[in-house]
Chains A and B, each alone.
Chain A
Amino acid sequence: MNLLKQFGRYILMLSVVFSRPNRWHIFWKQTITEIEHIGINSLPIVALMSTFMGAVIALQTASSMESPLLPDYTVGFITQSSTILEFSPTILSLILAGKVGSNVASEIGTMRVTEQIDALEIMGVNSLNYLVLPKITAALVFFPVLVVFSMALSMFGGWLALLVSDLTTTEIYILGIRSFFNPFHITYALTKTLVFGFLIVSVASFHGYYVKGGSLDVGKASTQAVVNSSVAILIANFILTQLMLLS
């Protein structure tokens, strides 16, 4: 019952978020700032995670290649498909749920407990629209960029690891990456990214906006935001995979 009530409240929140901004120039300015906070500031962690994850996927695949029937380019192919289908859109989104989700929930939560949101409302500002819409827009604009960046770095990491370990040549690895490439998988990955980006920011904003109490409660809301957005990502991942890859 409580879950249903919370979900209803979340939908009502979104209906207020998606209204016309008071001033478009302020909205765009806020969006640019949020692209920096949410997106550009996430580039280092995305680069680090993607490079090492790509390297590990390639090395693990190479270490399992015992059958002589498997062609040498299989390592490149598996690195490519794992990265595009699952690692970059889903695992990366789960990592961003931790980084961005906790950041958004604690920022908005702190504004709530220090009455800054009340101050916005008293002025006549639609505080949900002012605070949340630029964050959602920034996530929808920049998360796909992060995922494409992650895909490229993951495959680069795989290549580097194989080359350093002398497990394959550049030509064979590239052949593997290009083998059975299905452009629809990119569409699938980017669609997932947009949905996950929306879920991360909106769920975190919801937990931050409706927090009650003090700094301890902001911390709890932040943790809850990460947990719930991660669960939402996993459920959405399952539904989208059913809808896009199997139907």
Chain B
Amino acid sequence: MIEVRQVSKTFNGQQVLFDINHSFEEGKVNLIIGQSGQGKSVLAKCIVGLYEPDAGQVLFDQRNFTDMERNERSQIRQEIGMLFQGAALFDSMTVEQNIMFPLQMFTKKTRAEIQARTDFCLDRVNLAGRNKLMPSECSGGMQKRVGIARAIAMNPRYLFCDEPNSGLDPKTSIVIDKLIRDITQEYKITTVVITHDMNSVMEIGDRIIFIHQGKKWWEGDRHSIITANNPEIESFVYASSFMKEIRTQLQKK
């Protein structure tokens, strides 16, 4: 479980996050949703330590990450896997080398064991046999899947996904969403997904928080968000004609 306690963040005198409190549950896909520029990515970066919060604490299973020294943080970070918006694969390395990298850096596994783990991770994301491709030779969806394979290589306890579906077609988005949900349930990890894609919300959102104007505006699950009686959430959820149509159908029933 990841706990966020009264986290605030300011950039150049402008407050972006206001006293965020939340617990991200283990074995569930926890979504952070909201419109662009409302602070959801900043919150995620504060949680993983890419930004230092101005106030508040982040606890990974009761371990206070915020107050830790660099070396101690490094230990926790080895338990974190992250899928970046643009996949962030190391472009000088092959697909296989990208996945092997954390294993070579932090484990004492033999070369054969590392190879076996890499092949397993590639197989898990349906990319078996694509070991020698360079990231530039992969499609957007493949890059995301390699990103997931790299993120799970170290058997993480926590998985972060920053807009995993951005730039992907709907079919590939569903594949990625399914992978995230399956991996979360399979390994009982705490998964945090930042998204503004309502399809993802409905597909995988076990627990959802809605960030608006840098504040935690609402929390619930994928069922309750449909009926949430809040103008900001309504305008977000029913922004598309498709969702508006669903609402009309629901109201008719």
Contact = CB atoms under 8 A, between A and B. Distances in A.
A114 B88 contact: yes
A115 B88 contact: yes
Contacts of B75: 124
Contacts of B76: 124
Contact of A119 (B90, B104, B105): B90
Most buried by B among A114, A121, A124, A126: A124
A14 B101 CA distance: 24
A123 B78 contact: yes
Interface string A111-129: 0001110110111111000
Contact of A114 (B49, B86, B154, B160): B86
A1 B250 CA distance: 62
B104 A23 contact: yes
B50 interface: yes
A124 B91 CA distance: 19
A244 interface: no
Contact of A118 (B50, B74, B154): B50
Interface size band for B: 20 to 34
A213 B70 CA distance: 25
Contact of B74 (A23, A119, A124): A124
Contact of A124 (B77, B84, B90, B104): B77
A22 B105 contact: yes
A118 B49 CA distance: 10
A163 interface: no
Contact of B102 (A116, A118, A123): A123
Nearest to B85: A115
A26 B105 contact: yes
A114 B86 CA distance: 7
Contacts of A119: 82, 84, 88, 90
Nearest to A117: B88
A22 B84 contact: no
Contacts of A116: 88-91
Given A22-B106, A23-B104, A116-B91, A123 B77 contact: yes
Closest 10 interchain pairs by CB?
A124-B77, A115-B88, A124-B74, A119-B88, A122-B82, A124-B78, A115-B84, A123-B102, A116-B88, A22-B105
Interface of B: 48-50, 70, 73-78, 80, 82, 84-86, 88-91, 101-102, 104-106, 154, 160
